[in-house]
């Protein structure tokens, strides 16, 4: 479904992954191979439309660089003859164009994915691309919102004075749901009204299902929103915009951006920050790591352990500010 221009809250799920969008300067053979690769990622690897879009953009950037680098149409033969210096030149050019090291890590990962696909077809030797060093990254810790700030925010009587009551009920229910469950914003916006219960089965990243538990307060606020919503949402998505269409994640973050200014929230306050806050606050209150891993839907425990680093960082800051030797400086 394509979003109507007059409803900024509706969601467009169309992502164009046609190989024509990758580069007009590819050989037909390479166009066919990239199309097959993207289809494999979509069907067999169950990549989301957002991940597919990111991989497509990365490969488009790679091919665009190569076409200028070699001043000719890019073919499989050129890819087979690439040297480490060619990959380094590409990554350096991206840095020169303002791309971050983190962006380069993902771009290199996208290129490696495509090259691995070619290798499975015996069309590529992986020695060169595997010899390209991954850019070094500084550790980026999740940024939770202070517990009291979150609680004060989700308990506000109103968010925007001009909003009708049902919109306030909707936003309060959504923000409470995000903080109470640690859901990703797209997971929350994909809930159907008919599925609302104390336990909800949702599909997360990689098409993996998990059960999310709703606290009584979250369930109460969702039901209040359902009863006040003027649109018939009984057979469709739970969270809708003023035109009755499914909310888009960017719409939610745009509203939060305005609310940050109005209510003096931290700069990192976003829909995803509720997820960070959920995990961090649970661990600070003694929840075990495995349980939080299950609640977040993380496949690997290492993905959850980063929240213990956040807590260690906060403890260190308290220690530095509180120790007598530090105070006497």
Q: What is the distance between the alpha carbons of residues 265 and 253, in angstroms, rounded to a whole number?
A: 13
- Cα 255 to the center of its chain, rounded Å: 18
pLDDT at residue 85 in the model: 93
Supply 22's token pair.
């990758």
Digits of tens for pLDDT over the chain (329 positions)?
Answer: 333 334 444 433 333 444 445 556 888 999 999 999 999 998 888 787 878 888 999 999 999 999 889 888 899 999 999 999 999 999 999 988 888 888 888 899 999 999 999 999 999 999 999 899 887 765 556 678 888 999 999 999 999 999 999 999 999 999 999 998 988 899 999 999 999 999 888 887 767 788 888 999 999 999 999 999 999 999 999 999 999 999 999 999 999 999 988 988 888 888 988 988 888 888 877 777 777 777 777 666 666 656 555 454 444 454 445 444 444 44
d(CA 215, CA 180): 7
Task: Sketch out the chain's domains with CATH numbers.
Answer: 19-131 (1.10.150), 147-322 (1.10.443.10)
Give the per-residue pLDDT at 124: 94
- Specify the pLDDT at position 303: 60
Residue that the structure tokens 């350096």 belong to: 92
Active site positions, annotated:
184, 205, 272, 275, 298, 307
Quick one: pLDDT at residue 267? 83
Distance, CA of 15 to CA of 236 (rounded, Å): 22
Long-range contacts, stretch 31-40, CB < 8 angstroms, 24+ apart: 33/76, 33/117, 33/118, 33/121, 33/123, 34/59, 34/114, 36/117, 37/113, 37/114, 37/117, 40/117
Tokens 């606020």 sit at which residue?
221
Q: Are 245 and 10 in contact (CB under 8 A)?
A: yes
* Axis crossing angle, helix 101-120 with helix 49-70, rounded to the nearest 10: 90
User: pTM (2 decimals)?
Assistant: 0.56
The whole-number pLDDT of residue 1 equals 35
**Cβ proximity of 225 and 167 under 8 Å:** no
**DSSP per-residue letters across 106-151:** HHHHHHHHHHHHHHHTT----HHHHHSPPPP-------PPPHHHHH
Distance, in Å, from the CA atom of 59 to the CA atom of 166, rounded to the nearest integer, reads 44
Structure confidence at residue 52 (pLDDT): 87
166 and 228 Cβ atoms separated by less than 8 Å: yes
CA–CA separation, 243 vs 224, rounded Å?
19
Rg for the chain, CA atoms, rounded: 23
CA 147-152-157 angle, to 5 degrees, is: 155
pLDDT of residue 325: 45
């Amino acid at each position: 479904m394509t979003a109507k221009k007059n409803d900024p809250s509706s969601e467009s799920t169309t992502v164009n992954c046609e190989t024509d969008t990758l580069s007009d300067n590819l050989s037909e053979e390479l166009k066919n191979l990239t199309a097959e690769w993207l289809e494999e990622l979509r069907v067999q690897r169950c990549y989301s439309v957002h991940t597919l879009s990111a991989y497509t953009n990365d490969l488009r950037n790679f091919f665009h660089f190569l076409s200028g680098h070699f001043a000719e149409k890019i073919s499989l033969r050129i890819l087979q003859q690439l040297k480490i210096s060619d990959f380094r030149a590409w990554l350096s050019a991206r840095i020169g164009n303002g791309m971050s090291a983190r962006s380069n890590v993902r771009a290199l990962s996208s290129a490696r994915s495509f090259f691995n696909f070619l290798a499975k077809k015996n069309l590529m030797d992986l020695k060169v691309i595997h010899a390209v060093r991954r850019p070094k990254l500084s550790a980026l810790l999740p940024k939770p919102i202070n517990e009291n700030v979150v609680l004060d925010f989700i308990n506000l009587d109103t968010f925007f004075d001009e909003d009708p009551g049902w919109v306030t009920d909707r936003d309060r229910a959504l923000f409470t749901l995000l903080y109470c469950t640690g859901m990703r914003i797209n997971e929350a916006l994909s809930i159907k009204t008919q599925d609302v219960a104390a336990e909800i089965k949702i599909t997360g990243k990689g098409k993996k299902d998990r059960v999310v538990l709703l606290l009584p307060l979250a369930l109460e606020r969702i039901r209040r929103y359902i009863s006040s919503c003027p649109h018939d949402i009984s057979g469709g998505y739970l969270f809708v915009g003023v035109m009755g269409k499914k909310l888009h994640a960017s719409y939610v973050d745009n509203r939060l951006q305005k609310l940050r200014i109005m209510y003096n929230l931290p700069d990192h306050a976003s829909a995803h920050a509720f997820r960070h806050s959920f995990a961090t606050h649970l661990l600070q209150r003694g929840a075990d790591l495995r349980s939080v891993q299950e609640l977040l839907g993380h496949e690997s425990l290492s993905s959850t352990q980063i929240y213990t680093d956040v807590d260690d960082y906060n403890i260190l800051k308290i220690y530095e500010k509180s120790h007598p030797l530090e105070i006497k400086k």
